[in-house]
Amino acid sequence: MSELGLVKRQFGHRARLALSPAEIRVIDDQAHAARTLWNCLHSWWQMMPKDKCTLAGADAAIRQARKDLDYLAVLPAQAAQAVLKTYHRAWVNCWEGRAQEPSFKGRFRTPMSVDIPQGRDLNIVRVHRRWGMVNLPKIGRVRFRWTKDLSVGKKATKDSRITGARLVKDALGWHIAFRIQTLQRAPESHQGPEVGIDAGVNIPLALSNKDHGRPPRLPDGTADRDKWLTPKEKAKLLRLERQAAHRNTFRKPGEKTSRRLQHTYDQIKQLRAKATRRALNWQHQTTTYLARTYGVLVVEQLNILGMTKHPAPRPDPAGGGAFGRNGARAKAGLNRSIAQEAWGRTVTILTYKSARYGGRLVKVPAPHTSRRCSACGCITSGSRESQELFVCKNPDCGWTANADWNAARNILHLYRTGHVIVAVPAAGRRGRRAVTPSNLPQQCRRESPS
């Protein structure tokens, strides 16, 4: 932050590329070369002695490999250096405990991408109201969809400019993701109200003040797995899945997938990618509304990986219960619903958007937020009669409400009573006390239900 109250902001913008079949083949070759270079670099790093695993040695090995192997030479030199930089950063994250060790990248499970680290080589020009031109290494001038005003031309300065880009591919084709850096005035402290947010399945984001109907609404069929597809797209997806299952019956074990079956798989991937894009668009619209409206956003500290684990198998295969023969299938359905809502991505988006608008995001402990009554504070067994309804079993209370709204009220109450785990951003703010067993709230408390 400068003395004038200006801060540097870095964000990304993704646009669709308009490529010819020949250009697509060139970028595909570059992406495969980048993945192969990563695997060769990983093998070299594991084989070399510890004292010789240096950036200078790896850089020399990459330069020699690009001279000896023609299929690695199709990758631009700067993109090859970006692979080395990304690989070294992966090891730094592992050494600092933020990630696991880097591993080999598989051909089919790894997203295809090519990095363009130098923004000055892009030479972006707007040629039409809807289209722009960008220069790609070893490809030339390519059109891309213009959907956002970029800091190019006379608008580009030392502090507001495009620092680089990355070519990424999904089921819908190749896109370019620009890395943009701007200099903006630091936002003032947000004076909006406080709100508790509960991430659920029936209501994706339930607010403590019942404002969850104000953001952009979900399409019809909230509990449907393919809720982001239209009825025609759902029918087409069902037809393609049946067609793929029928054609797969004629495939012998170990036999290569036929072109016709692979084409069917590609069509299924395109529909799935379209649904994912619509879900991400809804997430961005909703989180922007929340960050602009509220000054303090309170969420739970959830262990999503632990919540989506498969149930432990029972010794008796015929055993019943919640995780018996029939319960395992229900738990698998719940895991799919949790993964589809992408709760972790929602919290990540809320974190930087709340800081952008001057607010802050606070995380509170998650235990018993969905089982505790927000009116009387009692935790009683059987209060969750269904996934949607909460009924307090306390004889003196008997309060009934939506289960997600009840949990959102409990989340906000934990923040107001000082049970905070993480407060983001913490710079320049006085942190709250951490949660410990000694300062956990009592099992029963009295609070007005209003």
pLDDT at position 341, please?
77
| Average pLDDT score over residue span 216-227 | 57
| Average pLDDT score over residue span 248-253 | 89
Same domain for 15 and 151, yes or no, is yes
- In a domain, residue 282? The reply is yes
Separation CA 271–CA 288 (nearest Å): 26
- In a domain, residue 313? The reply is yes
pLDDT at position 440, please?
32
Sequence-ordered list of residues with C-beta below 8 angstroms from that of 101, at least 6 positions apart, any chain: 91, 94
| Average pLDDT score over residue span 216-240 | 75
The residue out of 51, 83, 109 marking a domain boundary is 109
Same domain for 378 and 406, yes or no, is yes
Same domain for 214 and 181, yes or no, is no
Same domain for 278 and 316, yes or no, is yes
- In a domain, residue 449? The reply is no
The residue out of 61, 79, 109 marking a domain boundary is 109
Same domain for 80 and 161, yes or no, is no
- In a domain, residue 336? The reply is yes
- In a domain, residue 252? The reply is no
Look at residue 213 and tell me whether its pLDDT is greater than 80. no
| Average pLDDT score over residue span 330-358 | 82
**Which one has a higher pLDDT value, 369 or 261?**
261
Q: How many angstroms separate the Cα of 448 from the Cα of each of 384, 397, 403, 445?
A: 21, 11, 17, 10
Same domain for 215 and 151, yes or no, is no
Look at residue 370 and tell me whether its pLDDT is greater than 90. no
| Average pLDDT score over residue span 408-413 | 88
- In a domain, residue 227? The reply is no
Same domain for 348 and 408, yes or no, is yes
pLDDT at position 327, please?
62
- In a domain, residue 324? The reply is yes
Percent of the chain with pLDDT strictly greater than 90: 26
For residue 236, which amino acid is it? K
* Total domains, the chain: 3
The residue out of 48, 76, 109 marking a domain boundary is 109
Sequence-ordered list of residues with C-beta below 8 angstroms from that of 213, at least 6 positions apart, any chain: none
H or E segment to which residue 59 belongs: helix 55-68
Task: Give the model's confidence band at 428: pLDDT under 50 very low, under 70 low, under 90 confident, else very high.
Answer: very low
Highest mean pLDDT: which of 5-14, 109-118, 383-392, 425-434?
A: 109-118
Q: What is the pLDDT of residues 90-110, one digit of tens each?
A: 999 998 888 888 999 988 888
Q: What is the pLDDT of residues 27-37, one digit of tens each?
A: 999 999 999 99
Same domain for 216 and 295, yes or no, is yes
Rounded to the nearest integer, the mean pLDDT of the chain is: 81
| Average pLDDT score over residue span 411-418 | 86
Q: Where are the alpha helices (DSSP H) in 200-258?
A: 231-248
Nearest Cα neighbor of 211 from 225, 226, 193 is: 193
Q: Is the omega angle on the peptide bond into residue 231 within 30 degrees of 0, that is, cis?
A: no
Q: What is the pLDDT of residues 283-332, one digit of tens each?
A: 898 999 999 989 889 988 887 777 777 766 665 555 545 444 556 767 77
Domain that holds residue 130: 6-20+115-185
Q: Where are the alpha helices (DSSP H) in 189-252?
A: 231-248
Same domain for 377 and 419, yes or no, is yes
Same domain for 164 and 51, yes or no, is no
Exposed/middle/buried for residue 316 (C-beta within 10 Å: 0-12, 13-18, 19+): exposed
Same domain for 364 and 431, yes or no, is yes
- In a domain, residue 447? The reply is no
Q: How many angstroms separate the Cα of 341 from the Cα of each of 80, 120, 201, 202, 239?
A: 36, 38, 7, 10, 25
Same domain for 297 and 329, yes or no, is yes
Separation CA 342–CA 304 (nearest Å): 9
pLDDT at position 221, please?
43
Contact, 5 vs 186, CB < 8 A?
A: yes
